[in-house]
Amino acid sequence: MPRPGFVLEVDKSTPPILFHHGESLRLERLPAGRSRVLYPGEPLDALDDVDGAIRRALDNPLGDLEPLHALLRPGMKLTIAFDDISLPLPPMRRPDVRQRVIEAVLDLAAAAGVDDVHLIAALALHRRMTESELRHAVGDRVYDAFAPQGLLYNHDAEDPDNLTFLGTTPHGEEVEISKRAAESDLLVYVNINLVSMDGGWKSTATGLSSYRSLRHHHNVQTMQQSRSFMDRHKSELHSSNWRMGEVLRSSGLQIFQIETTLNNDTFGTSGPMSVLQKREWEWNPRDRASFIAMKAGLDRMPMKARRRIFQSWKAPYGVTSVQAGEVEAVHEATTANVFAQQLVEIEGQTDILTMGLPYICPYNVNSVMNPILVMCLGLGYFFNMYRGRPLVREGGVLIMSHPTPWEFHPVHHPSYIDFFEQVLADTTDPIEIEARYEKHYAEDEWYRHLYRTSYAYHGVHPFYMWYWGSHALSHLGKVIIVGGEARSVRRLGFTPASTLNDALEMAADVVGRDATITHLHNPPIVMADVT
């Protein structure tokens, strides 16, 4: 029976706490008497028979929808869209659950005589997936059967000939998605719901859409009005996607949504990484030795080698649920399963929120965690891992640990470099950034070219990263990065600190010397249910 997440009150006997620090790790002692640590739950039990669960889900859809096999017929156009490289994090060991689901869907399609099938990586404005990444997601068998014929491909949000405008929501939001998907008799969406932000109408309305559509919810106003975007019912990001979903539904597009959830088994229960998943006071001598050796080894390695080691890690996640059918009904069940793993109740807000940022976020798989992504991971994702109220009070301080190098992947993040050099050098105010710079970057021909033909995130993508943190930016009194490259940290508009103690001293200027501290012990993923 896995133990649920919980809140540890730090006292004098509490050992140093693990902080992820990019491609390294730190142990930090938190002040006794005023600190607490929010621990994630242990990995929920995985399904014993994932393939059986998939078949049952396809045969027993949720909501007002027939079983999948009943929706399939010869001569029909079937499109299978699936989540891209940004999910899950880290990538999961083979076979990826997308592969299992897609194979099951294709088996049914083949049995029904469906021969017009396209598979699309629903990457919106993310970078295109490489062949090896696609093979990892869908499996070699599917890749070899479809990709050579051009039937398995990356969505292209900048291909005007292959986008279809489906209408406008009552709020004036334009809905434009992949033409192939829009003109299909059935769109099957295969999702991995790593966090509660994922899935639902966001899968299609975002994943298969264009900048024309995305700009209606990927903006500062939407993000600042979401409390948080991890809580669908209080998320303006999701409200917009749900309105767009209504437009998709009204257009006659039939969608069969398949959502899956994973447990928290990020680092495994054996091997050197497993210590990262244990609670510190439960580390045995072997764990301690393993940690010391791992940290010493990492700290001596060049960054490139460290990055290669971490990026090659594939998590041994277990699949905890598969649900299929009508989008909204499916997503309600999915969200409940996500919360069952990740949600941990915690009483009251804190003055100072600390977090150790790991080496990976949704946008640097097989890539570099550049400073903008550091901001996005900390102030976007981790800060918003709450339900109810932010874990840190308004005017409070966020202390993140990450090396924050002034380094960018030149192929994946070309517009990020310009954003960092040119936009952030001018202003860090999301509203001003959006008004003055977004359109130019979004319509830049070079970025467009690289997005379409290389492996670059869309020109506008760094803006979205910045917007993702805009709620936190307006909420927080100060942001401090421990161990970060000072000039990068300053360019972000934050304060660099050499040590956690220095950071706490700096924070005291904002929130006082007796300020309460809460450490978000993430990853594995934990979401605060703040009462």
Partner 1 sequence: MKALVFSRKPAKYAAAVLAGQLSPGRGAKVGPLALRDVDPPDLPGPRWVHVRPRLAGICGSDLATIDGTSSRWFEPIVSFPFTPGHEVVGDLDDGTRVAIVPVLSCVTRAVHPPCFACARGEINHCERLAYGDLEPGLQCGFCESTGGGWSTRMVAHEDQLVPVPDSLSDEAAVLVEPMACAVHAAAQVTASGVAVVGAGTLGLLTIAALRAARAGVEIVAAAKHPHQRTLAASLGADVVVAPGELDRTIRSRTSSMRLDNGQLTGGVDAVVDCVGSAESLAQALRIASPGGTIHVVGMPGVTAVDLTPLWQREVALRGTYAYERADFDTAMALAAELDLGRLLTASYPLRRYEDAIAHAATAGARGAVKIAFDLRSERERERR
Point out which residues bind partner 1 (CB under 8 A): 414, 417-418, 421-422, 425-426, 440-441, 444-446, 449
Residue found under tokens 């109220």: 389
358 in helix, strand or coil? strand
Torsion from C-alpha of 503, 506, 507, 511, nearest 10 degrees: 160
* Burial classification of residue 67, based on how many CB atoms lie within 10 Å of its CB (0-12 exposed, 13-18 middle, 19 or more buried): middle
Q: Which is nearer to partner 1, 454 or 498 (CB)?
A: 454
Looking at residue 378, what DSSP letter applies? I
The distance of closest approach from Cβ of residue 76 to partner 1 in the complex, given in angstroms and rounded to an integer, is 42
What is the C-alpha separation between 242 and 205, in angstroms, rounded?
A: 8
- Smallest gap, in angstroms, from Cβ of residue 321 to partner 1? 45
CB-CB contact of 351 with 511 (8 Å):
yes
Whole-number minimum distance, CB 422 to partner 1, in Å?
6
Residue 432 CB, shortest distance to partner 1, in Å, is 15
Nearer to partner 1, 115 or 426 (CB): 426
Q: Which is nearer to partner 1, 155 or 461 (CB)?
A: 461
CB of 308 to partner 1, least distance (A): 24
Tokens (6 digits) for 217: 């919810």
What is the H or E stretch that residue 69 is in?
Answer: helix 68-71
- Least separation in angstroms between residue 485's CB and partner 1 is 15
CB of 22 vs partner 1, minimal distance in Å: 24
Query: Quick count: other Cβ atoms within 10 Å of Cβ 316?
Result: 19
Written in H, E and C, the secondary structure of 94-112 is CCCHHHHHHHHHHHHHHHC
Q: How far is CA 418 from CA 22, 443, 444, in A?
A: 23, 14, 12
Nearer to partner 1 by Cβ, of 131 and 445: the residue is: 445
E strands within 209-289? Answer: 255-262
**Cis status, amide bond into 454, omega within 30 of 0:** no
Q: How far apart are CA 275 and CA 279, in angstroms?
A: 8
Q: Which is nearer to partner 1, 229 or 437 (CB)?
A: 437
For residue 373, the minimal CB distance to partner 1 (Å) is 18
Residue 71 identity: L
Cα 175 from Cα 222, distance rounded (Å): 17
Q: DSSP letter at 498? A: S
Given the complex with partner 1, which of 146 and 447 has the nearer CB atom? 447
Looking at the Cβ atoms of 402 and 458, the one nearer to partner 1 is: 458
CB of 449 to partner 1, least distance (A): 7
C-beta closer to partner 1: residue 67 or 405 = 405
498, 499, 500, 506: CA torsion to nearest 10: -50
- Based on CB atoms, which residue is closest to partner 1, 174 or 444? 444
